[in-house]
Amino acid sequence: GDSVTQMEGPVTLSEEAFLTINCTYTATGYPSLFWYVQYPGEGLQLLLKATKADDKGSNKGFEATYRKETTSFHLEKGSVQVSDSAVYFCALKKSGGSNYKLTFGKGTLLTVNP
Amino acid sequence: NAGVTQTPKFQVLKTGQSMTLQCAQDMNHEYMSWYRQDPGMGLRLIHYSVGAGITDQGEVPNGYNVSRSTTEDFPLRLLSAAPSQTSVYFCASSPSAGRYEQYFGPGTRLTVT
């Protein structure tokens, strides 16, 4: 079945450091890929998405590129801020038809220190 | 739009008690779902609905019931609470099939003692 594997946390960085959170997936066909962010005490919010190979999703300085050849969707940010401290989830959804289900990775806790 | 709303925000139950977690959305979304979030497990799908009157099981449906009588509401019922159901529950909605993202509610933190 479909699955998402993301790097285990926690990840602790200093402000302005470079961030990479790795995400790889297993799925048939061409799923859509998402990164969600969960700030403390809140629900999940969509951070960015990509719907086909080589697409780059970007938002709030975060980027991720849909790499079909390596089945990856790694999240990057060039300079993190304390306010980026949160749990980040990689997720996929199969394309087409009536398949609505999201498959999530286990989440990566990021802590950014001043 | 209020988006996806959930009530209550917190709940403590004793083993064997029943309760209903409420979820509503005002975006006229067809698809709604319930997830539970446990440490180190990510989010796991409990039940989902693709429209009023249509529901189906997700990955971890045991101990939970759902119904979808209107487009707006999708309550989750715990029939006889167990400590293993201690978790944070999230409701989500999506406009239709395809590549659209899901919108999440703020969550309900449930503790079963």
The model's pLDDT over A39-51, given as tens digits with 9 standing for 90+, comes to 988 889 999 999 8
Task: Give the DSSP letter of residue B8.
Answer: -
Say whether pLDDT at A93 is over 90: no
Contact B66, B47 (CB under 8 A): yes
Q: Which helix (H) or strand (E) holds A112?
A: strand A108-113
Span A6-38, pLDDT tens digits = 988 899 999 999 999 999 999 888 888 999 999
Chain B residues whose CB is inside 8 A of the A88 CB are none
pLDDT in tens, B17-72: 999 999 999 999 999 999 999 988 889 999 999 899 999 999 899 999 999 999 99
Of B42, B99, B105, the CB nearest to A43: B105
Quick check: B99 pLDDT over 80? no
Beta bridge partners of A113: A14
* Residue B54: exposure state from Cβ atoms within 10 A (0-12, 13-18, ≥19): exposed
Judged by CB atoms closer than 8 Å, whether chains meet at A105 and B42 is answered as yes
Contact A90, A76 (CB under 8 A): no
CB contacts, 8 Å: B33 with chain A: 100-101
Cβ pair B50:A45 closer than 8 A: no
Q: Do A102 and B45 touch (CB under 8 A)?
A: yes
**pLDDT at res. A61:** 97
SS3 content of chain A, % helix, strand, coil (to 5): 5, 50, 45
Q: How many residues does chain A have?
A: 114
Residue A69: the pLDDT is 94
| Integer Cα distance of A106 and B113 in angstroms | 26
Set of chain A residues whose Cβ sits within 8 Å of the Cβ of B103: 46
Which residues 15-34 of A are in CB contact (within 8 Å) with B?
32, 34
Do residues B56 and B48 lie in contact, with contact meaning Cβ atoms separated by under 8 Å? yes
**Which one-letter DSSP state was computed for residue A82?**
G
